[in-house]
Amino acid sequence: MEDRWTPEHVLSLAPDAASRKSAAKLSTPAPWSDTGSDDRALWGWCQGSGGTPYRTVVDLVGPAYQCGCPSRKFPCKHALGLLLLWSARGTGRAAAPDWATGWLEARREKERQQHRDREQGRQRAAGPDGEAVRPEAARRAARRAERVDAGAAELQARLADQLRTGLADAPQQGPASWAAVAARMVDAQAPGLAARARELGAVPASGPGWPSRLLEEYGLLHLLASGYRRVDSLPTGLAATVRARVGFTVDAAEVLRGPVVRDRWLVLGSSDRAEERLTTRRIWLRGSRSGQPALLLSFGRLGTAPEPALPTGLLLDAELAFHPGARPLRAALGTRFSAPVTAPAEQAVPPGLSLEAALDAYGRALGDDPWLESWPVVLERVVPQPGVLGWELADSNGPAPVAIPVDRRSTPDSGLWRLAAVSGGRPLTVFGECGHRGFTPVTAWYADEAASDDIRFRTLGVTA
Amino acid sequence: MTTAPNHPLDSAADAWPDLVTAALLGTDRRPVPAPLDRAATLALARRAGLRPGPAAPPTPVAAADHRPPPPEPARQRLAMLLPARSGSGGAGQLANLNELLPQWLAAAARHGYRCPAALVPPLLDAARARSELRPDAVALAGPLGRWLADRNPDWRFVLRTPGTGERDAAAQSAGQDPRLWQEGLFAERVTYLTRLRRRDPDAARELLRGSWASERAEDRLLFLDALQEGLAAGDEPFLEAALNDRAKNVRATAAELLAALPGSALAGRMALRARDCVSVSATEAGSRLTVHPPTACDPAMQHDGIPAASPTGRAERAFWLGEVIAAAPLDTWAVHGSPAELLALPVSDAWQQDLRDAWARAAVRQGDVPWARALLALPAPDPIPVGSAAKLLAVLPTDERARWAAEFLAGHGLAEAFQLLVACPAPWPEELGRAVLDSLEQIAETGGYPWSHSGVVGVAERALPPQVEPELAVLADHAVPAWAETFARLGATLRLRAAMLAELAGRPVQVAVRAAGPGGRSGRPV
């Protein structure tokens, strides 16, 4: 059976709502002709409202799109319409025609070249000259290290000062004073410290229990600042974690020059968060051999969907390179060896943990990276329910029913109600992030009895 | 301050509140050694040591829905037709998708499908915003919809909307809580009554009789309306009693229901009155109808629901005549000939128009096909007015309606036809579809603007049959740009609707095979 994406997934590739609507109209067979698909691509001619029809090609590995239309949207409505058509009813297997193979082959060649380049880069890095850094870059790095160090010291002093005079009047001070500190941290080239300092200003207005939350954040920020000040004496992994948290970034290309892990990665879920001019996409993976969790972060400007897009529930044979740290999670996607495939039926629902075990997993992860807000876990047999105090995930499998609250900050109401609907009060498998503020559901697996006897499992994206 | 334990993790639970107090007051006043280090250690201990809390009382499980889900492509179509979630893209929707959603829902309800669970919340959201979707949406959502509505106040309407479809109605009322009738909101009580009426008409009437005396007048009126469905001889005593109701509206509604009940005593009384008003007399020139309208509205007439004065200020005698004739069973006249024969007879004085109007109202009320047909067949120069024609058309079988409308279009054009077209249910037969397209083409050729005919174009979008799609393509190719766009959009809607209905029926939709080379028009699916 051919592996086709769900229309939900296809629509998630759209850059905006208008594209989704236009694509839906192009998803019937009528405007299309000469459509076809193979394991890696689909193609077809789309007859528009007049004139010459457009040639549309979609490379499923990527995915990437090629269309003769003049639209500046990316992907355009024709590519999305073709994907929807294929998703709903298939387009017929065929060998790619000449007009499609040219572009597809060029893409393959580029991928192979990138793979070779990375391999060579790794060999060079491992070679005798690997550690050689240009003197100019070294001087710049040393200057920044000094600045950050001074910033960290200033921040520590500031925290200690506040604590000496007491936090009681923090609500009256408002966020302004911490905004000023944050600005100093930006000057000190420590954006990670800046972001945490800015958040300190918001905690006193966050409702009952703020003193406890504020003190926790004080403690952890102090821990980060003091950790950075002795970063050279820390174990390699922890030092990398501290540097990353303080705000030293490593770009994907550099990460990919480091060691890579090849596995069949199960896509556990994805979630897009639209900010002002930028959409941030998170995709969570789990290695089916290694069990290693991974998080891919990507960004898309307005009108462009973030790349890559990976359908939940599929397996991806690929290399990942993890950002260095004591608790590796964030990764960069390297070479993909094939288009994603559907997980076999017996692996359709990933194995999960009880609520106790999920919180333990978060606790253990904190042992490596104390600044973790949450840890990705799959929960088994939990019931989402609206309660008086908010939504919770209940687990009635133990002797006494227990529950953890749902962290509502990045979960829309509509998502929770859809979660409740697919559950109907019955237990589900739910993937999400488990942390000290509760659980953020991302994906749910549920049985949907089809007309036939076989029960097939479907996934629901909660944050979509 | 209490002594700190030797190891901070030994009793994190006690140490933390003490540290928070110290932090609030300031460590100048409450000295703590290395307070920030301590805060970090304890904060981590708290986070790492988190345990699940006790759960709220468990939720009851939603009742199983044994209806099949729609086929996969249909399910995906629904996901696309439903307005986008989380507000992104609710605005700027295209008209044809708005039109297609109700059609999808109605067709799916006819097939007896259930709505897939994940789509029930967006479906209920859509039905919350568009009340015309509610009966089908509630039927498709089934028990899961009611389970959700019990939990989300936004969807309360589900509990007071009767779903379409007999099977569902039975299932719904079987599981209904009789307390809803005793204690529910007014709309919930109407729903309860309506569902019960569908399942067991007599039980519904008896339920209403039980509380009748204590209901408010405006509620009695709407409860009485609910009896219209499944009206039968058994209802007569109750309705007769309602003719003595305190409220005028209730009396009038009861009279109207009784008049529509063939063989009722009221219908008999009206027949007598009607025969007093209209008689057939033979003259040298042949038969003619002699009309003597009532000269007064006596108490017995008023008791049977005829108002003493016209609410619209018509002349009294003409008004009473109209009320009597409209309420009298049409078979009263059968002894004098067929409807067509009667309509052809000359009428005394100037009563012809009043008599025809009244017969038209009677034909609509009693759903009398031969009379409706005869009235619609009245020739020029005195055809039935378009407003009455639209109502009479609704009495005829659907294919006959369409034929009539198509002929009307051929003779009169589109200008007056809007009401008639609305009366012809979708999808139109091919003949009517062609007639509408011909009229639109004429307007396009004579320089009319599409937006002046948006009403007709809108109905056409909903009701044009798929067979006329090739003609639309030809029209789109030859029309001026504004009309080309209109025709192209109509064509696109038609294709989408055909695909949608095929998906629901589980039929394959075929992809065209390219006939011409690049640049030529593509072949179209059959």
Task: State pLDDT tens for residues A205-254.
Answer: 988 999 999 999 999 999 999 999 999 999 999 999 999 999 999 888 88
* pLDDT, position B42: 95
Alpha carbons within 13 A on the beta-carbon side of B359? 26
DSSP code per residue over B429-453: PHHHHHHHHHHHHHHHHTT--GGGG
Helix (H, G, I), strand (E, B) or coil at A314: strand
Distance from CA of A142 to the nearest CA of B (A): 28
Same domain, A325 and A366: no
pLDDT at A369: 97
Q: What residues of B are in contact with residue A49 (Cβ under 8 Å)?
A: 484-485, 488
Q: CB of B38 within 8 A of CB of B49?
A: no
Residue with tokens 């919770």: A392
Q: Is B512 on the interface with A (CB under 8 A)?
A: yes
Count of beta carbons in the 10 Å neighbourhood of residue B380: 6
The whole-angstrom separation of Cα B268 and Cα B235 is: 16
Residues of chain B contacting A52 with CB distance shorter than 8 Å: 518-519
Residue A116 inside a domain? The answer is no
Q: Indicate the residue of B35, B508, B523 with minimum beta-carbon distance to A163.
A: B35
pLDDT, tens digit, 9 for 90 and up, residues B461-473: 888 888 888 888 8
- List A280's β-bridge partners, or say none: A273, A299
Q: What is the pLDDT of residue A57?
A: 93
Measured distance CA(A361)–CA(A431) in Å, rounded: 14
Inter-chain CB proximity B52 and A402 less than 8 Å = yes
pLDDT band (50, 70, 90) for residue B509: low
Residues A242 and A139 both lie in one domain: yes
- Residue A447 maps to a domain: yes
The mean per-residue pLDDT over the stretch B331-346 comes to: 90
Whole-number Å distance between alpha carbons of A385 and A390: 9
Give the total number of structural domains in chain A.
Answer: 4
* A340 and A378 co-located in one domain: no
Q: What are the structural domains of chain B?
A: 12-46 (no CATH), 96-265 (1.25.10), 272-384 (no CATH), 397-506 (no CATH)
One domain for residues A359 and A451: yes
Asked whether residue A128 is domain-assigned, the answer is no
| Residue B3 predicted with pLDDT over 50 | no
Domain boundary, last residue among A323, A346, A369: A346
Within its chain, how far is the Cα of B464 from the centroid?
Answer: 20
Which of the residue ranges A187-191, B241-245, B307-311, B352-356 has the most confident prediction, judged by mean pLDDT?
A: A187-191
DSSP A304: B
3-state percent breakdown (helix, strand, coil) of chain A, nearest 5 = 40, 30, 30
- What is the average pLDDT across B326-352? 89
Burial grade of B253 (CB within 10 A; 0-12, 13-18, 19 or more): buried
Q: Give a yes or no: residue A20 inside a domain.
A: yes
Whether residues A173 and A221 share a domain: the answer is yes
Beta bridge partners of A44: A56
Looking at per-residue confidence, does B447 or B354 come out higher? B354
Does residue A228 sit in the same domain as residue A273?
Answer: no
Is pLDDT of B1 > 60?
no
Q: Are residues A288 and A387 in the same domain?
A: no
Give a yes or no: residue A127 inside a domain: no
Would you give the DSSP letter of residue B334? G
Q: For residue B46, which residues of chain A lie inside 8 Å, CB to CB?
A: 216, 436
Do A382 and A320 belong to one domain? Answer: no
User: Do B522 and A159 count as a contact with CB atoms less than 8 A apart?
Assistant: no
pLDDT score for B29: 93
Among A373, A376, A379, A362, smallest CA distance to A433 is for A376
Q: Are residues A141 and A239 in the same domain?
A: yes
Looking at residue A133, its pLDDT comes to: 63
Mark yes or no for CB contact A383/B524 under 8 Å.
Answer: no
How open is the CA angle A103-A106-A108, to the nearest 5 degrees? 110
Task: Tell me which chain B residues have a C-beta less than 8 angstroms from the C-beta of A424.
Answer: 61-62, 117, 144, 147
pLDDT of B475: 86
Q: Is residue A154 part of a domain?
A: yes
The mean pLDDT of B274-284, rounded to a whole number, is: 87
* Stretch 277-336 of chain B: residues touching chain A, C-beta under 8 Å: none
Q: Chain A within 8 Å of B481 (Cβ-Cβ)?
A: no
Taking the C-alpha atoms of residue A114 and residue A341, their distance in angstroms, rounded to an integer, is 23
SS (H, E, C) B186-246: HHHHHHHHHHHHHHCHHHHHHHHHHHHHHCCHHHHHHHHHHCCCCCCHHHHHHHHHHCCCC
As a whole-number percent, the residues of chain B with pLDDT over 70 amount to 88
Residue A315 covered by a domain: yes
Chain B residues 55-94 within an 8 A CB cutoff of chain A: 55-56, 58-62, 68-69, 72-73, 76-77, 79-81, 84-86, 88-89, 92-94
| Residue A426 neighbours by CB distance under 10 Å | 13
Q: Say if residue A72 is in the same domain as residue A141.
A: no
Cα-based distances in Å from A354 to A351, A381, A393, B57: 10, 8, 11, 19
- What local confidence, expressed as pLDDT, does residue A132 receive? 58
d(CA B268, CA B259): 9
At A96 the pLDDT is: 87
Residues of chain B found within 8 Å of residue A31, distances taken between Cβ atoms: 522
Rounded CA separation A454/A447 (Å) = 10
Residue B323: pLDDT band (50, 70, 90) is very high
Which of B146, B493, B522 is the best residue to mutate to test the A interface, defined by the most A CB atoms within 10 Å of its own CB? B522
Stronger pLDDT, B522 or B149, i.e. the higher one: B149
For position B517, what pLDDT does the model report? 37
Mark the ranges of chain A whose per-residue pLDDT is less than 50. Answer: 1, 451-452
Q: In what order do the strands lie in the sheet with A32-37?
A: A32-37, A41-46, A54-59, A64-67
**Measured between beta carbons, which residues in chain A are less than 8 angstroms from residue B96?**
25
By 3-state DSSP, what share of chain B in percent is helix, strand and coil, each rounded to 5?
Answer: 65, 5, 35
Q: Residue B258 pLDDT more than 70?
A: yes
Q: Is the pLDDT of residue B230 over 90?
A: no
Q: In the numeric block, which tokens belong to residue A127?
A: 């070679």
Instruction: Tell me the ipTM for this assembly.
Output: 0.85
Q: A52 CB near a chain B CB, below 8 Å?
A: yes
Lowest mean pLDDT across A20-34, B220-234, B340-354: A20-34
Task: Provide the residue type at A85 as one letter.
Answer: L
pTM to 2 decimals?
0.76
Is residue A169, in this structure, part of any structural domain at all?
yes
How many angstroms separate the CA of residue A356 from the nearest CA in chain B? 6
Top mean pLDDT of A268-282, A362-376, B140-154, B474-488 is at: A362-376
Q: Which of B84-93, B109-118, B209-218 has the highest mean pLDDT?
A: B109-118
Which residue in the block uniquely carries the two structure tokens 């972060």? A297
Which chain B residues contact residue A15 at CB under 8 A? Answer: none
Full residue range of the structural domain in which residue A74 is found: 7-100
Q: Which residue of A has its CA nearest to B497?
A: A28
B334: left (phi over 0), alpha (psi -120 to 50) or beta: alpha
- Report the C-alpha gap between B134 and A297 in whole angstroms: 41
Boundary-marking domain end, from A56, A73, A100: A100
pLDDT, one tens digit per residue, over B378-422 is: 887 778 888 888 889 888 988 888 888 888 888 887 777 888 888
Q: Please tell me which of A200-209, B302-311, B402-411, B490-499 the model is most confident about, judged by mean pLDDT.
A: A200-209
| Chain A residue with the nearest C-alpha to that of B473 | A49
